[in-house]
A and B are shown apart, each in its own frame.
Chain A
């Protein structure tokens, strides 16, 4: 079975500090992993994906994610958070269908 877990419902971080949003996956075979962001009253926006290759994936708006096969994790990171990064973040994996985690609300305080 394929599943994605986001253990934190909410992450709070001060502006300018580094941020991490955690994601672990359970997928048979090689996983295709994605991060999406959802702003209020908007659809999801694609941030980045891991298909194969370099474990560190760079995406939009300065975000990056590190694929760790031994820990089955795909944490989203950003070196310096902005207030405008405050949103709902979804990790997802795909074999035949895209399976989303439950989402993590990121709150960046000025």
Chain B
């Protein structure tokens, strides 16, 4: 158990809908990251927050947005969902934001868009 929690574990929804994925980082970690894992794209970095502020952005679609709250939990919002958004979404956390910090991953949320 990494100490990173994600809810829900599974999510099934329809095209065009909007969903919110939630992540609680390890106790004491200030940085949160979101990743998407799919068969065709592999593991892709989406976005990073550090102590409430956006720190780095990766291949995140405009339909997706995220935020980190004062209690350091984070939410990833996915809207206007398409079939291709079906994937495993991971949250990770690290103590600090620097590149030398290892990240600890949550168990993921499996999103299925029908």
Q: List 8 A-B contacts (CB under 8 A).
A: A43-B2, A43-B107, A44-B43, A45-B2, A94-B99, A96-B99, A98-B45, A100-B43
Instruction: Report the Cα distance A102→B38, complex, angstroms.
Output: 11
Find the B residue at minimum CB distance from A47.
B102
Contact of A95 among B48, B92, B99, B103 (CB under 8 A): B99
Would you give the 0/1 interface string for A42-54, flagging 1 where the beta carbon is closer than 8 Å to chain B?
A: 1111100101000
Contact of A103 among B33, B42, B103, B105 (CB under 8 A): B42
The reply to whether the CB of B108 lies closer than 8 angstroms to some CB of chain A is yes
- B residues sitting closer than 8 Å to A (CB atoms) are 2, 4, 33, 42-43, 45, 48, 56, 58, 90, 92, 99-100, 102-108
The reply to whether the CB of A34 lies closer than 8 angstroms to some CB of chain B is yes
Contact of B100 among A32, A41, A96, A102 (CB under 8 A): A32
Q: Are A51 and B43 in contact (CB under 8 A)?
A: no
Size of the chain A interface, CB-CB below 8 angstroms: 21
Instruction: For A43, list chain B residues within 8 Å (CB).
Output: 2, 4, 90, 92, 105-108
Q: Are A44 and B105 in contact (CB under 8 A)?
A: yes
18 more contacts with CB within 8 A, not counting A43-B92, A97-B58, A100-B42, are A32-B99, A34-B102, A36-B105, A41-B107, A43-B4, A43-B90, A43-B105, A43-B106, A43-B107, A43-B108, A44-B90, A44-B92, A45-B105, A49-B100, A51-B100, A95-B99, A96-B56, A99-B45
Find the B residue at minimum CB distance from A52.
B100
Q: Are B102 and A46 in contact (CB under 8 A)?
A: yes
Instruction: For B56, list chain A residues within 8 Å (CB).
Output: 96-97
Instruction: For B99, list chain A residues within 8 Å (CB).
Output: 32, 94-96
Instruction: Report the Cα distance A42→B91, complex, angstroms.
Output: 12
